[in-house]
Amino acid sequence: MLNYKIYVRNILESIKKIERTCKNRKSLNDEDIFDMTLMRLQVIGENISSIPKEIKQKHKEIKWKNIKNLRNVISHKYNIVDKDLIWKFVENKIPKLKEALKNE
């Protein structure tokens, strides 16, 4: 099995890209930015599956299963993804995830 830090790095890199593309925005109304953000959230959700249980238990403030579920909705039910909910996730949950993983 690969070292879990590879997955942490992938998640943090995706967060960095989300931060860069969403910087100075108030919404995800730009279709290209929205699509890019969804792709990066899929990458985050996929990599979360490979984060060890011990790390997840250490950061109980993160709703790990919800992030994985978000990935599944984006991947399999793209037509029901709500831009406003994704924006709230980007604004409120991504910084907490970044904080939790930056020293792992």
| Distances 44 to 52, 73, 74 between C-alpha atoms, Å | 14, 13, 12
| Distances 78 to 18, 38, 50, 52 between C-alpha atoms, Å | 18, 9, 23, 28
Catalytic residues: 71
